Amino acid sequence: MDLGRHLFYDKKLSGDNSMACGNCHLQENAFTDPNQFSVGIHQMSGRRNSMALFNIAYHRDGFFWDGRVANLRSQVLMPIEDPLELDADLDAVIIKLEADPMYVEKFTAAFGDEEITRERIGLALEQFGFSIISKDSKYDQYLQGLASLTASEERGRQLFFTEHRPNDPDNSGADCFHCHGGALFTNNLFMDNGLDTIFGTDTDKGLYEFTNSTFDIGKFKVPSLRNIEHSGPYMHDGRFTTLEEVVEHYNSGSVESPNLDPNMHAIVDHGLGLSEQDKTDLVAFLKTLSDDVLRTNPEYASPF
Ligand code: HEC
Ligand code: HEC
């Protein structure tokens, strides 16, 4: 973990020694980038928003917004060689690390001998990634009986966990938990939440780009809502700046999309029917998922 943390923050992992993983995955932002599109070493940016990194040890179904990589030890090597990100040759990175006595010592401590390989770099970064856990939000304390929610947060909690019932407005909720439920606040699946109606050649098609199945057009990884207050901008392309805009997306009813998840069919055109107070309360609840321990824990911070 100590080795992985050094690698995560070490600019030697980039082609021109100017950037590290930690530049696009910032601890204070729950390990994502506050910019809509991260800028790599050549001042070029990709088309997707960086992803928050915590509790990823529990991800079952693939990494990246489109799930194209099955396990973390392979995933972590990709940004090193990606021309839009760190754009380095891994063999050249290995030579740089071999020349640094600190790494000779740390690889020996971790693996029993001083050999530095792609696999070992992958394993060390994976180990650090797995160690980043978020479990200390106000909501976690509330579940343990150690904190209480304000009236607004409590109403938001009920809206979040209640189904949308168009024919029973008094008992109708915002229905977020079907996809963002459970302890992780994600079901770890790939789904279409109705962001794009028309998919032209330039539109990001998400999971389809990996599977080539038309049933997967517009499906993206369901992100965890833990720490959501700090991990904006939102969605795979960072199109929304505020949580209010996100809630308005679900509330608006303009969610028609080819593979729209069945859980959302009832809100097409009609929306969720949330009042201004409902929206305020829902956002107040989402903010109880913020975990300052994660964002300030020195074990996850840069050692340099
Ligand atoms: C230039 C910015 C940038 C750099 C540098 C960068 N990342 Fe990322 N990272 C991203 C973006 C953007 C995505 C989403 C990409 C996609 O879905 O196609 C991402 C996604 C990920 C994910 C997937 C998370 C998930 O939930 O599926 C992991 C893990 C990750 N990065 C780890 C790393 C590691 C480890 C490094 C350093 C070796 C690194 N990143 C360097 C921008 C960056
Ligand atoms: C049908 C499943 C589904 C339902 C229901 C759903 N979401 Fe989502 N949510 C998703 C998916 C999929 C994404 C990622 C979409 C993308 O980026 O293309 C997402 C993204 C988000 C994001 C942005 C996260 C980030 O890191 O960028 C927020 C915030 C969010 N949803 C909040 C909510 C709230 C609040 C509700 C209830 C009103 C809700 N969601 C209901 C599937 C769902």
Same structural domain, 121 and 88? yes
Let me know whether 228 and 256 are in one domain.
Answer: yes
Domain match, 120 and 175 both: no
**Average pLDDT, integer, range 1-8:** 96
Q: How far is the CA of 50 from the centre of ligand 1 (A)?
A: 6
Could you report the per-residue pLDDT of 208-264, keeping only the tens digit for each? 999 999 999 999 999 999 999 999 999 999 999 999 999 999 999 888 888 999 989
Q: How far is the CA of 97 from the centre of ligand 2 (A)?
A: 40
Please tell me whether residues 68 and 155 are part of one structural domain. Answer: no
267 within ligand 2 shell (Cβ under 6 A)? no
Residues 149 and 266 in one domain: yes
Structure tokens at 2: 């100590």
How far apart CA 212 and CA 219 sit, in angstroms, is 12
Indicate the top mutation candidate among 222, 274, 289 to test ligand 2's pocket, ranked by most ligand atoms within 8 A of CB: 222
What pLDDT is attached to residue 249?
A: 96
Backbone conformation region of residue 67, classed left if phi is above 0, alpha if psi is from -120 to 50, else beta: left
Q: Which of 264, 181, 290, 221 is nearest to 51 (CA)?
A: 221
Q: Are residues 164 and 240 in the same domain?
A: yes
260, 141 in Cβ contact below 8 A? Answer: no
Q: Report the Cα 99 to chain-centroid distance in Å.
A: 34
Give the number of whichever ligand sits closest to the CA of residue 121: 1
Q: Which of 69, 108, 107 is nearest to 210 (CA)?
A: 69
Q: Provide the pLDDT for residue 141.
A: 97
Q: Are residues 144 and 127 in the same domain?
A: no
Asked if pLDDT for residue 270 goes beyond 90, the answer is no
71 contacts: CB under 8 Å, gap ≥ 6: 63, 126
Residue 110, pLDDT score: 97
CATH of the domain at 147: 1.10.760.10
Question: So what's the pLDDT on residue 59?
Answer: 85
Is the pLDDT reported for residue 11 higher than 90? Answer: yes
* Sequence letter at residue 276: E
- What would the mean pLDDT of 10-30 be, rounded to a whole number? 97
- Tell me: the pLDDT tens digits for 38-96? 999 999 889 999 999 999 999 878 999 999 999 999 999 999 999 999 999 999 999 99
Distance 22 CA to ligand 1 centre (A): 10
Please write the tens of the pLDDT for every residue from 97-120.
Answer: 999 999 999 999 999 999 999 999
Query: What are the pLDDT digits (tens) for 142-183?
Result: 999 999 999 999 999 999 999 999 889 889 999 999 999 999
What was the pLDDT predicted at 63?
A: 94
| pTM higher than the cut 0.85 | yes
Over 90: is that where the pLDDT of 134 sits? yes
Distance (Å) from CA 185 to ligand 1 centroid = 20
169 and 262 assigned to the same domain: yes
Q: Are 168 and 268 found together in one domain?
A: yes
Burial 184-203 (b: 16+ CB within 10 A, else e): bbbbbebbbbbbbeebeeee
Question: Cα angle at 265 between 224 and 163, to 5 degrees?
Answer: 60
Tell me the pLDDT band of 28, cut-offs 50, 70 and 90: very high
Shared domain check, 115 and 27? yes
Position 266 confidence tier, pLDDT thresholds 50, 70, 90: confident
The C-alpha atoms of residue 137 and residue 252 are separated, in whole angstroms, by: 29
Q: Are 199 and 208 in contact (CB under 8 A)?
A: no
Structural domain that includes position 64: 2-133+295-300
| CB atoms near residue 65 (< 10 Å) | 23
Sequence-distant (6+) residues with CB within 8 A of 72 are 56, 59, 63, 125, 126, 129, 130
Q: What is the pLDDT of residue 124?
A: 98
Q: How many domains does the chain have?
A: 2
Do 148 and 267 belong together in one domain?
yes
Q: Check whether residue 101 and residue 148 sit in a common domain.
A: no
